[in-house]
Amino acid sequence: MVDADRFIQEAIEEIHEEVGGANAVIALSGGVDSSVAAALAYEALGDRLTPVYVDTGLMRKGETDQIRETFDYMHSLRVVEAKDRFLDALDGITDPEAKRHAIGEQFIREFEREAKETDADYLVQGTIYPDRIESEGNIKSHHNVGGLPDVVDFEGIVEPVRDLYKDEVRDVARELGLDELVAERMPFPGPGLAVRIVGEVTEEKLEVAREATYVVEEELEEYDPWQAFAAVLGKATGVKGDNRVHGHVVAIRSVESRDGMTARAQELDWSTLQRIQSRITGELPNVARVLYDVTHKPPATIEYE
């Protein structure tokens, strides 16, 4: 386990050394990794750091408001409304790796523009150790690692938590005095809901994934999962009222894990599962079925794409 206090001192020094007297932008996602990277970079650079949150349209319900609240203390926070550009970039793409690359590329383009506007030469990212391992091992390219385009218009990319596991990042978050809600927050992947939609990403499927995930997070809070969410798999026939419908199939995933490298599907009560099913099919008219995913990692991954 990392010595959080020492880690913080060393990370701040390292950011100083790497960035020198230049300006930097930090990519915020609201998750614990980027929040810790941001707090460290803010300590090191102060006003020379501009925090940027890109609203990709692939985020969870209420995420943008939460980010504004959490990072209110950094006065220069910039919120970029980029939903239409991300949906355009994803238009017609069905291959999971192509999706990740399209998202990674769009992210970088957004940050390059923000960096130009704020005169920043460096990009700070909250990449952690498992992100790098899985990208290097080609299990999948995490959007903020293997998904980077070949040409990136930055002097350097700074990744202060690149050698930490998630539980170590949480320790550092507490040592930094970040809100416990941020320190304990469920991991959420950089490419967002796009990796919880099998096949093409559309606004309709995003809405289903977002609303159903909200129900799942709410209903499973007492189980304290490492991650719990809903994914949109495809379509199937159902019957609602007097009508047959061809609606979305939603899978519920709830897993226990230490670091995300391996995971176990959680054992949930039947009554809990039924309550989730009834809320999702009741609240979302275009959902025909709800399934529970009982697969561990391996052989499955946590996310769907």
Residues that bind ligand XMP (CB under 6 A): 100, 131, 134, 140, 142-144, 187, 189-191, 195, 227, 260, 297, 301-303
Q: Kindly tell me which of 38 and 288 has the beta carbon lying closer to ligand XMP.
A: 38
CA dist 154 and 107 (Å) reads: 13
Q: Kindly tell me which of 131 and 217 has the beta carbon lying closer to ligand XMP.
A: 131
120: left (phi over 0), alpha (psi -120 to 50) or beta: beta
CA dist 198 and 200 (Å) reads: 7
Q: Kindly tell me which of 144 and 277 has the beta carbon lying closer to ligand XMP.
A: 144
Output the CA–CA distances (angstroms, integers) from residue 62 to 32, 256, 264, 285, 294, in the order listed. Answer: 17, 24, 28, 21, 28
What does the angle CA 205 – CA 35 – CA 182 come to, to the nearest 5 degrees? 75
CA dist 141 and 147 (Å) reads: 6
Smallest gap, in angstroms, from Cβ of residue 128 to ligand XMP? 8
Smallest gap, in angstroms, from Cβ of residue 13 to ligand XMP? 25
Per DSSP bridges, beta strands 227-240 and 243-256 are antiparallel
Q: Kindly tell me which of 140 and 279 has the beta carbon lying closer to ligand XMP.
A: 140
Q: Kindly tell me which of 185 and 205 has the beta carbon lying closer to ligand XMP.
A: 185
Smallest gap, in angstroms, from Cβ of residue 293 to ligand XMP? 12
Smallest gap, in angstroms, from Cβ of residue 165 to ligand XMP? 11
* Residue whose structure tokens are 């050698």: 163
* Cβ atoms within 10 Å of 191's Cβ, excluding its own: 29
Q: Kindly tell me which of 59 and 288 has the beta carbon lying closer to ligand XMP.
A: 59
Fill in the amino acid letter for 208. Answer: V
CA dist 204 and 122 (Å) reads: 36
- DSSP track, 130-165: HHHHHHHTTS---TTTTTS-S----SEEE-TTTT--
Q: Kindly tell me which of 23 and 66 has the beta carbon lying closer to ligand XMP.
A: 66
* Cβ atoms within 10 Å of 65's Cβ, excluding its own: 9
Smallest gap, in angstroms, from Cβ of residue 16 to ligand XMP? 25
Smallest gap, in angstroms, from Cβ of residue 102 to ligand XMP? 12
